[in-house]
Structure 1
Amino acid sequence: MTTMFMGSVSSCSLRSVKLFTFGCTLAVVLMTFQYEHKLRLFNSPRLMLTLPSLSLISICGFGAALVGFLYPMVITTMERTSFLEHDNSVVRKSEVCKSVVIFLGINHLCVKIPFQSDLHFTLTLAFFCIAFWWWFDRSIINFIFSILISLILTMTIEILLRAGALQYTYSDFYLKTCVPCLTFAGAILTIQIIKLLSQPPGQPSSTLDIPNEQEHIKND
């Protein structure tokens, strides 16, 4: 019993470290995109050496780890069982790679293309985020869960703004719109990674095809 508990704690800790690293790396990439297109969140010209920048990167890392801690607690046992029975490890890895690329593409598109109005920009970004959820997840529970995570992170950044730890520059509306929308899409992306990390290690993909092969033999 103790061995199983220690193994569960070790697995959860390792997953949290991986998600924290992923969140920090993703934050660095997104901030780099914003600096390249002169959409700076901070007045300081230095990107990674300022305390506000490091604070925001840490918040993104802790946010990803928080999603990894909370998600298994809110997901139903039926959905977790269904996921393990029908999803293929190889396919899931490819889907995660696709979701990472598309997530970065959404951010790059929003900072690259000039929009006609603020409303046009908001509707476009919201549409891309919802389409991102529909393409890679389609779960109502994950949709609500990602909205809650988005609200939590948005409120955290707003508190830091009011406390003077962070400050917007001339791209106020862009950043205030991107924080909740991209956090929502980032939560969906993190959930896909959690599902990948939750799979049993070394599970061969061929074992998932056994029922199909047996059914084919019966038909013959």
Structure 2
Amino acid sequence: MPRLHDHFWSCPCAGAARHPSPPRARAAKPAAEPGDMSAAAAQAAGADPSPRGPRAGASGRASSWHHDLVQRSLVLFSVGVVLALVLNLLQIQRNVTLFPDEVIATIFSSAWWVPPCCGTAAAVVGLLYPCIDSHLGEPHKFKREWASVMRCIAVFVGINHASAKLDFANNVQLSLTLAALSLGLWWTFDRSRSGLGLGITIAFLATLITQFLVYNGVYQYTSPDFLYIRSWLPCIFFSGGVTVGNIGRQLAMGVPEKPHSD
């Protein structure tokens, strides 16, 4: 008589129990990784899961920033050219500035190189002011509107006009008066330490360059009392730097910061 355990081992289900299937057979398909799920979700939503998306965005921001920089430079250059033509006309009419007869003149009787040089200087100064404010972490917020900027330009033109029209007993009195007016312009429309420091630096450098040009006979001033130039000229450079700086700051309002490269 066959025993019970012999029937048990001869049963087909027992053979299946003795030889279990390998794990790969039981798991026909592995579970999806979390990264694959996110990639599939991004593709279903129409997004680009590759790292090219952020790079393209940074490239677009950089292109927009450079485009805005070029636009501001052109505006500042144009402002510098117009101011140079108008203010130099005032100086020439009062015989304060004299150019050689052989110099090619424009319709404003000004040397041809004066407007481009002043336009370039205005572009550099106008871009430098908001850049310094950004690096110092002190954004200029005093009277930030175009009406204030236009009044600042009017005062600057008035100071230059006073240097050519007003007659004082000596140049010292005129220089002190224009120095007070220039500081008043800074106090009224700027009041920032960066504006004061940049204005003084611009006045110093521009005075040195002017001394060099006059020394080499490019042009000359009547009745020089400060080496080869007039003693009030640094005041004009200071007020001009503050004025162009305010224009540059106003143009830079709402402009995104320069994108940093990774």
| TM-score, L = length of structure 2 | 0.66
Q: Which runs of 5+ in 1 are unaligned?
A: 202-220
User: Is the Cα–Cα contact under 8 Å of residues 43 and 169 in structure 1 kept in the other structure?
Assistant: no
User: Is the Cα–Cα contact under 8 Å of residues 63 and 153 in structure 1 kept in the other structure?
Assistant: no
Q: Does 2:224 correspond to 1:172?
A: yes
Moved more, 69-78 or 134-143: 69-78
> Matched residues in 2 for 1:154 and 1:62: separation?
16
> Matched residues in 2 for 1:155 and 1:61: separation?
18
Q: 1:67 to 1:178 in 2, by over 3 A?
A: same
Deviation, structure 1 residue 27: 0.6
Select 2:71's aligned residue among 6, 9, 14: 14
Q: 1:155 to 1:182 in 2, by over 3 A?
A: same
> Matched residues in 2 for 1:141 and 1:131: separation?
16
Task: Give the structure 2 partner of residue 121 of structure 1.
Answer: 174
Deviation, structure 1 residue 49: 6.5
Q: Does 2:250 correspond to 1:196?
A: yes
What CA deviation, in whole Å up to 9, does each residue of 1:86-123 have, x standing for no partner? 765xxx11111111111111111221121011211111
Q: 1:55 to 1:177 in 2, by over 3 A?
A: farther
Task: Give the structure 2 partner of residue 30 of structure 1.
Answer: 87
Moved more, 145-154 or 7-16: 145-154
> Matched residues in 2 for 1:99 and 1:129: separation?
11
Stretches of 4+ moved more than 4 A in 1? Answer: 49-52
What CA deviation, in whole Å up to 9, does each residue of 1:46-67 have, x standing for no partner? 7527998222222211111111
Deviation, structure 1 residue 193: 0.7
Deviation, structure 1 residue 146: 1.1
SS in 2 for 1:115: coil
Q: 1:87 to 1:111 in 2, by over 3 A?
A: closer
Task: Please give the residue correspondences for 1:58-69 in structure 2 after superposition, counting only pairs within 5 Å.
Answer: 58-69=116-127
Q: Does 2:138 correspond to 1:79?
A: yes
Moved more, 122-131 or 101-110: 101-110
Q: Does 2:194 correspond to 1:136?
A: no
> Matched residues in 1 for 2:251 and 2:191: separation?
20
| TM-score, L = length of structure 1 | 0.78
> Matched residues in 1 for 2:242 and 2:234: separation?
13
> Matched residues in 1 for 2:156 and 2:77: separation?
18
Select 1:103's aligned residue among 129, 137, 156: 156
Task: Please give the residue correspondences for 1:39-78 in structure 2 after superposition, counting only pairs within 5 Å.
Answer: 39-44=96-101, 47-48=105-106, 53-76=111-134, 78=137
Task: Please give the residue correspondences for 1:147-162 in structure 2 after superposition, counting only pairs within 5 Å.
Answer: 147-162=200-215
Larger RCO (CA under 8 A, 6+ residues apart): 1
> Matched residues in 1 for 2:123 and 2:202: separation?
12
Moved more, 171-180 or 5-14: 171-180
Moved more, 166-175 or 154-163: 166-175
Moved more, 39-48 or 178-187: 39-48
SS in 2 for 1:54: coil
Supply the RMSD in Å over aligned alpha carbons.
2.6
> Matched residues in 2 for 1:200 and 1:154: separation?
34
Q: Which amino acid aligns with 2:92?
A: Y
**Highest CA radius of gyration, 1 or 2?**
2
Q: Which runs of 5+ in 2 are unaligned?
A: 1-57, 256-262
Moved more, 19-28 or 170-179: 170-179
